[in-house]
Amino acid sequence: MVYLFEKFELDDSGFCLFHEGRRVPLEPRALRVLLLFVQNPGKLLQKDFILESVWKATFVEESTLTRAITILRKQLGDDSRAPTYIETVPTLGYRFIAKVETLSAAEPGETHPDAKPSVNQTLEPLPHPLTLEADQDRFPPFAKVNEVLTPNPLSRKHEGRSVKWRNWYLLAVLLPVAGGAELWIHFHHQPILEEKKAVVLSDFENSTGDAVFDGTLREGLTVQLEQSPVLSLISEPRIRNTLRMMSRNPETRLTPVLAREICQRTDSAAMLDGSIASLGSQYVITLHATNCNTGEVLYTEQVQAARKEDVLHALSTVASNLRSRLGESISSIRSLDTPLDEATTSSLDALKAFSESARVENESGSAAAIQLAQRAVELDPKFAAAWAILGRLYGDIGQEKSSAESTAKAYEFRDHASDHERFFIVASYEMQVTGNLEKAEQTCETWAQVYPNDAGSYGFRAGLILRVFGQYDKAIENAEHLVGIHPDFAMAYHFVALNDIALGRYKDAQRIGERASARNFKIPYYALDQFRLASLTGDEAAMQRVVTMAAKMPGSEDMIAGQQASSFASHGQLEKARAVSAGAITFMVQSGRREAAARAESGSALREAFLGNRDQAKRLALAALSLSKGRDAQYGAAFAFALSGDSIKAEALASDLEKRFPEDTSVRFHYVPTLRALVALDRHDATKAIELLQANIPYELGSPQSSFSGFYGVLYPVYVRGMAYLMMHRGNDASTEFRKVLDHPGIVANDPIGALAHLELGRAYVQSGNSVGAQAAYKDFLALWNAADQDLPLLKQSRLEFARIEDRNH
């Protein structure tokens, strides 16, 4: 019998307590007291009755029962003064006051209603003096899904499905004959892993001669085990990094011997190895779980599949049984256990192409893996996980349109994926296709609750969602947690550094970068972090070192070129900015990355517009739109048009963005309000501009998505609001807005508005009569532009204004 109360589950057959799918450690006597309570809910149980029932003939004092009750309350999170579970009846005893539901045991031999008779036939037991009867564990039918997942549309209650649980025949050979039955019963009712749930999965041994199984079964078992919210598979990046530390090729085939050594080095609990062999016309799948340190075989199972087409179904059964033996609760398994042919594909060939794409990506990069991922979706057009990976691969090489299309396909077929995969698919769709980051945040929050060891939810929040919201502190918390649970995930360190920089914690950002370097991580984004740190601290020599380094690191050249061009423009060195960006854009176009080139061209247009070169800004904005009308490129071009006085084009582009991306958070709260405010300013309606910009206030310190892909757009609404107040001659209000820009240099980074805010602040102080503040602000601006191009009209104008201020002050 299984007893359910609140978020707890007490299984009397397994003699264990679970909370939201996680085993709760309890000493046996306390657990027996709890069992007595849930068997008699609402009833007063006198102390003598409890002592006699639990301790039987053993003489114990009442204090022993008191201690057991204290332990129970602590583990249940109960308060004796305001109890939720155990109520004390003074001098008499205790009453269990929580509502208890019971689930009857499933009958032995109950099968999946769709199971084929030929699938998963367990092999005959090996000869041994201790003969095991059919598995006597009673597993309840489908229990309620973990409550945190149930209200989410991502979850699917597999109503009516029950899993055929198999005998653990080979356990007998691992136990001594003397006392074997008692030992077997104890072992059978205890999970083979207790607290530490990390496991290493080796490659499957394929002796069938059929190459379709190479890599496929390991991929399939990975998908199945990743559905568990309790287990934690050692990630591929961590395996490869461990192999490097062992002076081994990171692409070395993971044999059981090698997997066990990795298991030991990563301080994991167990190593899993499997094999597939032919038995006449049938197939035999064997799986072993081994203690990494002792080499003790913890669990072995073999199943048969009558046909090749049944192998994936057989593997699903093995994985479900394994999860149970590793200590996961029954309700957790049944609520998060999509069969492999539903979670991935029923096509072995498609699954093989999918697994091969991962191998090729690791060896040769994203571009090389695309063809195999495309092959997988050609073989099975409803293979959701393959569409999702294809979307990510396209995104890696800068083909955003193809990436969004593939991600949308994954979302369309999301019902053909496990709950685990569906979280990734839905969150990716919400971030990339609709852009609705409020929904994406809700998805990631639920994802983290159901799968607390998954990197995805924390990475999506730290790297994008929370940054758009301007919640950099929360982003750091997520990123640091990600580093803690996945220390070999290189991007996690970048997320910490990126958000540390945003909050001005430059030393912390430097330290996390050093930690990443110590692990020999090399990704392009580290160059971005280093350049920004050098720029913000005024270390020009360090900036040049990063530029030199980026030239030798594929993938970082574009980012550093954009940063370098913006840095030049921020110091009024527009000729240098043009040269850097022109070369980078030409390279992007030649390499087929038109969307990336369009964003870079929009960045160039913005620099020209901010520095007063209106005609050049419009020309570059048109060039950007001719390359791509992607969301972020179009925003940059529209802003350049608006800033250059072409309000008609700016309004048309804003309306188009609003129509194409009605849910998009950046469009709704950053892009459209700011563009329409600029249009209002062009029409000398500053009051309207202020009204329009109210929509941005909740996210005003946020980094819109254009700042990730094009390195522009941060705090633009704040800057434009300051311009509106200047037009209204409200100098004090204007100075407040420009101070926001100047007070957050880590967010603004190298964007030209960081320098221009000094000039605009000076103008705001002039309006408010603060001549001393105005003089200081102009000095700060001119100091930044001390090496500016001398023919810039803005430089000439600012010098004239400063001269007038000095004359008045003297």
Domain assignment of residue 480, yes or no:
yes
Domain assignment of residue 479, yes or no:
yes
Which of 69, 103, 137 is at the close of a domain? 103
**From the CA atom positions of the chain, what is the Rg in Å?**
32
Residue 266 sits in the same domain as residue 214: yes
Domain assignment of residue 147, yes or no:
yes
Residue 187 sits in the same domain as residue 39: no
CA distance linking residue 372 with residue 378, whole number of Å: 10
* Predicted pLDDT at 304: 86
Q: Give the domain CATH number at 384.
A: 1.25.40.10
User: For residue 204, what is the DSSP state?
Assistant: P
Residue 161 sits in the same domain as residue 269: yes
What total of structural domains would you count in the chain?
A: 3
Q: Which residues contact 195 (CB under 8 A, 6 or more apart)?
A: 25
Q: Say if residue 566's pLDDT is above 70.
A: yes
Which of 468, 503, 522 is at the close of a domain? 522
Residue 117 sits in the same domain as residue 99: no
Highest averaged pLDDT of the listed ranges 225-234, 264-273, 659-668, 703-712: 659-668
* Predicted pLDDT at 421: 87
Work out the average pLDDT over 43-53. Answer: 89
Work out the average pLDDT over 147-154. Answer: 33
Residue 476 sits in the same domain as residue 375: yes
Q: Which residues contact 444 (CB under 8 A, 6 or more apart)?
A: 423, 427, 456, 457, 458, 460, 461, 465
Domain assignment of residue 790, yes or no:
no
Domain assignment of residue 133, yes or no:
yes
* Predicted pLDDT at 58: 65
Window from 194-203, 633-642, 776-785 with minimum mean pLDDT: 194-203
Domain assignment of residue 586, yes or no:
no
The full DSSP string for 683-709 is TT-HHHHHHHGGGGGGGTT---THHHH
CA distance linking residue 240 with residue 516, whole number of Å: 15
- Return the H-helix or E-strand segment holding 201: strand 198-201
- Return the H-helix or E-strand segment holding 276: strand 270-279
Highest averaged pLDDT of the listed ranges 142-146, 397-401, 419-423, 579-583: 579-583
Let me know: does 764 contact 722? Beta carbons within 8 Å: yes
**pLDDT, tens digit, 9 for 90 and up, residues 399-451:** 888 899 999 999 999 988 888 888 999 999 999 999 999 999 999 999 988 88
Work out the average pLDDT over 163-167. Answer: 25
- Return the H-helix or E-strand segment holding 600: helix 594-610
Residue 229 sits in the same domain as residue 295: yes
pLDDT band for position 157 (cuts 50, 70, 90):
very low
Residue 78 sits in the same domain as residue 167: no
Let me know: does 14 contact 188? Beta carbons within 8 Å: no
Q: Average per-residue pLDDT in the chain?
A: 83
Q: Say if residue 601's pLDDT is above 90.
A: yes
Residue 427 sits in the same domain as residue 300: no
- Return the H-helix or E-strand segment holding 378: helix 366-379
Let me know: does 727 contact 686? Beta carbons within 8 Å: yes
pLDDT band for position 114 (cuts 50, 70, 90):
very low
* Predicted pLDDT at 23: 74
Domain assignment of residue 671, yes or no:
no
Window from 74-88, 187-201, 250-264 with minimum mean pLDDT: 187-201
Q: Which residues contact 291 (CB under 8 A, 6 or more apart)?
A: 269, 270, 297, 298
Q: Give the domain CATH number at 23.
A: 1.10.10.10
The per-residue b/e assignment along 134-162, b for 16 or more CB within 10 angstroms, e otherwise, is ebebbbbbbbebbebbeebebbbebeeeb
* Predicted pLDDT at 120: 34
* Predicted pLDDT at 156: 35
Which of 84, 103, 122 is at the close of a domain? 103
Work out the average pLDDT over 295-312. Answer: 84
Distances (CA, A) of 292 to 2, 263, 429, 692, 798: 32, 6, 39, 62, 70
Window from 232-236, 311-315, 580-584, 665-669 with minimum mean pLDDT: 232-236
Q: Say if residue 508's pLDDT is above 90.
A: yes
Window from 307-311, 472-476, 615-619 with minimum mean pLDDT: 307-311
**pLDDT, tens digit, 9 for 90 and up, residues 228-266:** 887 778 888 788 888 887 888 888 888 888 888 888 888
Domain assignment of residue 532, yes or no:
no
Q: Give the domain CATH number at 233.
A: 3.40.50.10610
Choice between 161 and 762, residue whose per-residue pLDDT is larger:
762
Output phi, psi for 279, to 5 deg. -135, 85
Residue 247 sits in the same domain as residue 118: yes
* Predicted pLDDT at 345: 84
Give the N- to C-terminal CA distance of the chain in Å, as an integer: 91
* Predicted pLDDT at 225: 84
* Predicted pLDDT at 98: 92
Provide the percentage of residues in the chain whose pLDDT is more than 90: 46
Residue 437 sits in the same domain as residue 457: yes
* Predicted pLDDT at 695: 96
Residue 146 sits in the same domain as residue 252: yes
SS3 752: coil
* Predicted pLDDT at 55: 79
Residue 29 sits in the same domain as residue 45: yes
- Return the H-helix or E-strand segment holding 274: strand 270-279
What is the span of the domain harbouring residue 143? 108-343
Let me know: does 734 contact 743? Beta carbons within 8 Å: no
